[in-house]
Amino acid sequence: MRNLLFWLLFSSIVFTCSAPDKSTELLVNADFEAIEVDLEDLFAAGQFPKDTLITIEHDEFFKQKKRYKAYPLAPILKPLLAKIKDTTNLRVTFTCTDGYAPNMNLSKVLSHEAYLAVQDLDQVGLGKDWADSLATKFKPFYLVWRDASEGDAGFAWPYGLAEIRIASFFYDFADAFPLHNAAAQKGFQLFQIHCMKCHSINKIGGVMGPEFNYPKSITEYWKKEDIYSFLSNPQSYRYSAKMPAVKLSREDFEEIYGYLKAMKGVKSEK
Ligand code: HEC
């Protein structure tokens, strides 16, 4: 009898010890699930690091040297990454209040000095975060980089940044990727850098500008040369166009156009 009791006790201890640990249960496989956080919620929950004063030698928006009150991004991202099983090949998408949604490789984001700016310290009006004309579009956060080289389109400088999304490249971009057309993959990459933050393909990408593939491909109703000249001066087509001019070499445009054509036959209704 004593032996039996001992075994019951012993086996229940073994059982408890081998039960899955709660922290591993929460792990997400970013190939199948994305992590998405609302930055203001995270801030309200006290999950932000201490703010700091930073100097940006060349600000992409203001085109000059700027000083901000800001929060470093890496300590905000790291606790989120602790939930992901495999952190290689992940993309970070910065979702903004105006539909702008640029994305970058997580490793690139983490190997540079990104900050979430909340106050322009060069402001004359004390007690204000941003100039009156900018406040609505800049809040809640403006993403800046201390070490991005001037004019490098590979760095995103979104304002009105509200959410951060982390997922594997294939989880988020499969429907826009020309998997079976290797020749169009370079064009996809260029489209991703220069256009996808505002335009979508099969509903993947930003919603600031129009969708380009679903249900009709833009190549079916815009002439190739018009797309090319629209890029360098959208306002020469529509005085009210909200698209800023995009500088692109003819070769890069050819690659992007090739990608848009290739996607014509690849629709996803998701
Ligand atoms: C910063 C955001 C932004 C970026 C980056 C951007 N666009 Fe646009 N684009 C827009 C907006 C907004 C419109 C709607 C224009 C308007 O207001 O008339 C637009 C419109 C267009 C149109 C006209 C489509 C139509 O049917 O009206 C074309 C063509 C176009 N964009 C091509 C591109 C290409 C190609 C790229 C990348 C090389 C690109 N755009 C990058 C925001 C952007």
Closest CA to 204 of 229, 171, 233: 171
Q: pLDDT at residue 214 above 90?
A: yes
Question: By CB neighbour count within 10 A (0-12 exposed, 13-18 middle, 19+ buried), where does 251 fall?
Answer: exposed
Per-residue model confidence as pLDDT tens digits over 127-160: 889 999 999 999 999 999 999 988 888 899 999 9
Question: What's the average model confidence in pLDDT over 51-70?
Answer: 96
Distance 5 CA to ligand 1 centre (A): 74
Backbone angles phi, psi at 19, to 5 degrees: -60, 145
pLDDT classification of 112: cutoffs 50, 70, 90:
very high
pLDDT at 107 > cutoff 50: yes
CA distances from 49 to 2, 78, 110 (A): 56, 11, 16
Residue 209 beta carbon below 6 angstroms from any ligand 1 atom: yes
Q: What is the pLDDT of residue 86?
A: 83
pTM greater than 0.75 (yes/no): yes
Residue indicated by tokens 């979430």:
116
* CB 63 near ligand 1, within 6 Å: no
DSSP letter string, 220-250: GTS-HHHHHHHHH-GGGT-TT--PPP----H
What is the separation, in whole angstroms, between the first and last Cα of the chain?
A: 63
Domains of the chain: residue spans and CATH: 27-170 (no CATH), 177-265 (1.10.760.10)
Task: Kindly report, residue by residue over 34-45, the tens digit of the pLDDT.
Answer: 899 999 999 999
- Residue 241 clears pLDDT 70, i.e. is over it: yes
Q: Are 33 and 171 in contact (CB under 8 A)?
A: yes
**Is residue 74 in contact with ligand 1, taking CB distance under 6 Å?**
no
- The pLDDT, as a whole number, for residue 269 is 65
Name the β-bridge partners of 201: 204
Question: Quick one: pLDDT at residue 18?
Answer: 42
